[in-house]
Protein backbone atom coordinates (compact mmCIF):
# COMPACT_ATOMS: atom_id res chain seq x y z
CA UNK A 1 0.00 0.00 0.00
CA UNK A 2 1.26 3.45 -0.85
CA UNK A 3 2.25 5.22 2.36
CA UNK A 4 0.37 8.38 1.33
CA UNK A 5 -2.79 6.52 0.37
CA UNK A 6 -3.85 6.10 4.03
CA UNK A 7 -5.00 9.73 4.01
CA UNK A 8 -6.83 9.50 0.69
CA UNK A 9 -10.56 9.11 0.46
CA UNK A 10 -11.26 5.45 -0.38
CA UNK A 11 -13.00 6.42 -3.64
CA UNK A 12 -9.98 8.42 -4.81
CA UNK A 13 -7.58 5.64 -3.90
CA UNK A 14 -9.71 3.06 -5.73
CA UNK A 15 -9.91 5.22 -8.85
CA UNK A 16 -6.13 5.72 -8.98
CA UNK A 17 -5.49 2.03 -8.32
CA UNK A 18 -7.87 1.17 -11.18
CA UNK A 19 -5.71 3.01 -13.74
CA UNK A 20 -2.26 2.91 -12.09
CA UNK A 21 -0.75 0.02 -14.05
CA UNK A 22 -1.87 1.46 -17.37
CA UNK A 23 -0.65 4.92 -16.42
CA UNK A 24 2.75 3.68 -15.28
CA UNK A 25 3.15 1.67 -18.49
CA UNK A 26 2.51 4.92 -20.40
CA UNK A 27 5.22 6.81 -18.53
CA UNK A 28 3.43 8.24 -15.49
CA UNK A 29 5.43 7.94 -12.28
CA UNK A 30 3.84 6.75 -9.04
CA UNK A 31 4.67 10.17 -7.59
CA UNK A 32 2.61 11.93 -10.28
CA UNK A 33 -0.31 9.62 -9.54
CA UNK A 34 -0.23 9.50 -5.75
CA UNK A 35 1.11 12.92 -4.66
CA UNK A 36 -1.55 14.57 -2.50
CA UNK A 37 -0.10 18.07 -2.16
CA UNK A 38 -1.63 20.51 -4.61
CA UNK A 39 1.24 22.94 -4.08
CA UNK A 40 4.18 20.63 -4.77
CA UNK A 41 6.98 22.91 -5.94
CA UNK A 42 9.73 21.19 -7.95
CA UNK A 43 12.38 23.61 -9.18
CA UNK A 44 10.40 26.47 -10.67
CA UNK A 45 7.23 24.47 -11.37
CA UNK A 46 4.28 23.35 -9.33
CA UNK A 47 3.68 19.62 -9.80
CA UNK A 48 0.53 18.52 -8.03
CA UNK A 49 -0.23 14.85 -8.17
CA UNK A 50 -3.37 13.33 -9.60
CA UNK A 51 -4.48 12.45 -6.06
CA UNK A 52 -4.44 16.15 -5.16
CA UNK A 53 -6.79 16.95 -8.04
CA UNK A 54 -9.34 14.15 -7.69
CA UNK A 55 -12.57 14.30 -5.71
CA UNK A 56 -14.37 11.18 -4.48
CA UNK A 57 -17.10 11.55 -7.12
CA UNK A 58 -14.64 11.83 -10.05
CA UNK A 59 -14.16 9.12 -12.65
CA UNK A 60 -11.03 8.69 -14.75
CA UNK A 61 -12.26 8.15 -18.30
CA UNK A 62 -9.01 8.01 -20.31
CA UNK A 63 -5.29 7.51 -19.73
CA UNK A 64 -2.73 8.44 -22.38
CA UNK A 65 0.98 9.19 -22.26
CA UNK A 66 0.15 12.92 -22.39
CA UNK A 67 -2.87 13.25 -20.11
CA UNK A 68 -5.32 11.57 -17.76
CA UNK A 69 -8.92 12.55 -18.41
CA UNK A 70 -11.21 13.10 -15.43
CA UNK A 71 -14.99 13.30 -15.58
CA UNK A 72 -16.69 15.40 -12.92
CA UNK A 73 -20.40 16.17 -13.09
CA UNK A 74 -20.39 15.36 -16.82
CA UNK A 75 -17.51 17.76 -17.52
CA UNK A 76 -14.22 16.33 -18.73
CA UNK A 77 -10.92 17.77 -17.55
CA UNK A 78 -7.42 16.72 -18.52
CA UNK A 79 -4.57 16.31 -16.05
CA UNK A 80 -1.53 16.83 -18.28
CA UNK A 81 1.81 15.09 -17.82
CA UNK A 82 4.22 17.81 -16.64
CA UNK A 83 7.22 16.37 -18.47
CA UNK A 84 5.64 16.41 -21.93
CA UNK A 85 5.97 19.23 -24.43
CA UNK A 86 2.79 21.00 -25.46
CA UNK A 87 2.43 23.91 -27.91
CA UNK A 88 0.86 26.17 -25.28
CA UNK A 89 3.50 25.46 -22.65
CA UNK A 90 6.49 27.77 -22.61
CA UNK A 91 9.41 27.37 -20.27
CA UNK A 92 10.77 30.55 -18.76
CA UNK A 93 14.40 30.76 -17.78
CA UNK A 94 15.46 33.20 -15.12
CA UNK A 95 17.75 35.89 -16.42
CA UNK A 96 16.91 35.32 -20.07
CA UNK A 97 15.02 37.66 -22.32
Residue 14 inside a domain? The answer is yes
What CA–CA distance (Å, rounded) separates 4 from 97? Answer: 40
Percentage of residues in the chain with pLDDT exceeding 70? 73
Residue 56 inside a domain? The answer is yes
3-state secondary structure 58-88: CEEEEECCCEEEEEECCEEEEEECCCCCCCC
pLDDT at residue 86 tops 90: no
Q: What are the tens digits of pLDDT across the range 46-82?
A: 678 999 999 999 999 999 999 999 999 999 999 999 8
Residue 86 inside a domain? The answer is no
Mapping DSSP to helix (H, G, I), strand (E, B) and coil, where does residue 19 land?
A: helix
> Looking at residue 4, what is its pLDDT?
45
Q: Residue 43: give the domain boundaries.
A: 3-80
Amino acid sequence: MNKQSKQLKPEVEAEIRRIALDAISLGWSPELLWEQKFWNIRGIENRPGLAACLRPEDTITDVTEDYIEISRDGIKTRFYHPEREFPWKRRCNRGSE
